[in-house]
Amino acid sequence: MSDTLQPTREGDLTFAYGAAFRLEAGGSLQPVSVRYAVYGELNERRDNAVLICHALSGSARAADWWPEMFSNTPSHAKEARNGDPGGSVFDLSRDCVICTNILGSCYGSSGPISINPATDKPFGPDFPLVTIRDIVRAQAHVLDELCVKRLRIVIGASIGGMQALQWAVDYPERVEHCIAIGAAPLSAMGLALNHLQRKAIELDPNFKSGRYAAGEQPTGGLGLARGIAMCSYKSAALFDERYARKPNRTGEDPLRSVADRYDVAGYLDHQGEKFVKRFDANSYLVISKAMDTFELGRGYASEAEALKRIKAHVSLVGISSDWLFPAKDIRALVERLEVAGVQCDYTEFETSHGHDGFLAEMDAIAAVVNGSFHARRLAVVHKNVARKLGG
What residues act catalytically?
158, 322, 355
51 is an interface residue for a second copy by CB under 8 A: no
**Angle, helices 263-276/219-233, rounded to nearest 10 degrees:** 120
240 is an interface residue for a second copy by CB under 8 A: yes
146 is an interface residue for a second copy by CB under 8 A: no
293 is an interface residue for a second copy by CB under 8 A: yes
* Smallest distance, a second copy to C-beta of residue 220, A: 5
CA dist 101 and 335 (Å) reads: 31
Contacts of 271 (CB under 8 A, 6+ apart): 226, 227, 230
281 is an interface residue for a second copy by CB under 8 A: no
* Smallest distance, a second copy to C-beta of residue 329, A: 9
Nearer to a second copy, 187 or 320 (CB): 187
**Angle, helices 188-203/219-233, rounded to nearest 10 degrees:** 160
CB atoms closer than 10 angstroms to residue 202: 15
* Smallest distance, a second copy to C-beta of residue 268, A: 6
45 is an interface residue for a second copy by CB under 8 A: no
Which amino acid makes up residue 56?
Answer: L
381 is an interface residue for a second copy by CB under 8 A: no
CA dist 310 and 313 (Å) reads: 8
21 is an interface residue for a second copy by CB under 8 A: no
Burial 80-111 (b: 16+ CB within 10 A, else e): eeeeeeebbbbebeebbbbbbbbbbbbbbbbb
322 is an interface residue for a second copy by CB under 8 A: no
Q: Which of residues 138, 200, 337, 386 is near a second copy by CB under 8 A?
A: 200
203 is an interface residue for a second copy by CB under 8 A: yes
Concatenating the DSSP letter of every residue in 232-280 gives: HHS-HHHHHHHTTTPBPTTT--TTT-TT--BHHHHHHHHHHHHHHTT--
* Smallest distance, a second copy to C-beta of residue 292, A: 6
| Number of residues that this document lists for the chain | 391
Question: Both ends of the chain: CA-CA distance in Å?
Answer: 49
Nearer to a second copy, 78 or 249 (CB): 249
Contacts of 333 (CB under 8 A, 6+ apart): 184, 185, 316
Residue 103: closest CA among 6, 171, 23, 8: 23
297 is an interface residue for a second copy by CB under 8 A: no
Nearer to a second copy, 47 or 303 (CB): 303
Tell me the CB-side half-sphere exposure of residue 122, using CA atoms within 13 A: 18
Residue 227: closest CA among 180, 261, 184: 261
Contacts of 200 (CB under 8 A, 6+ apart): 221, 222, 224, 225, 228
Nearer to a second copy, 82 or 209 (CB): 209
Of the ranges 18-26, 65-73, 75-83, 166-174, which one interacts with a second copy (CB under 8 A)?
A: 18-26
Nearer to a second copy, 56 or 89 (CB): 56
304 is an interface residue for a second copy by CB under 8 A: no
Of the ranges 31-39, 58-66, 137-145, 263-271, which one interacts with a second copy (CB under 8 A)?
A: 263-271
245 is an interface residue for a second copy by CB under 8 A: yes
* Smallest distance, a second copy to C-beta of residue 186, A: 7
**Angle, helices 219-233/281-292, rounded to nearest 10 degrees:** 40
268 is an interface residue for a second copy by CB under 8 A: yes
Of the ranges 84-92, 157-165, 175-183, 241-249, which one interacts with a second copy (CB under 8 A)?
A: 241-249
> Which residues within the stretch 326-355 sit at the binding site for a second copy (CB under 8 A)?
326
User: What is the size of the binding site for a second copy (CB under 8 A)?
Assistant: 55
Taking a C-beta distance cutoff of 8 angstroms, is the pair 320, 385 a contact?
yes
178 is an interface residue for a second copy by CB under 8 A: no
Q: List residues near a second copy by CB under 8 A.
A: 24-26, 125, 129, 131, 185-189, 191-193, 195-196, 198-200, 203-205, 220-221, 224, 227-228, 231, 235-236, 239-240, 242-245, 254-258, 261-265, 268, 285-286, 289, 292-293, 295, 323, 326
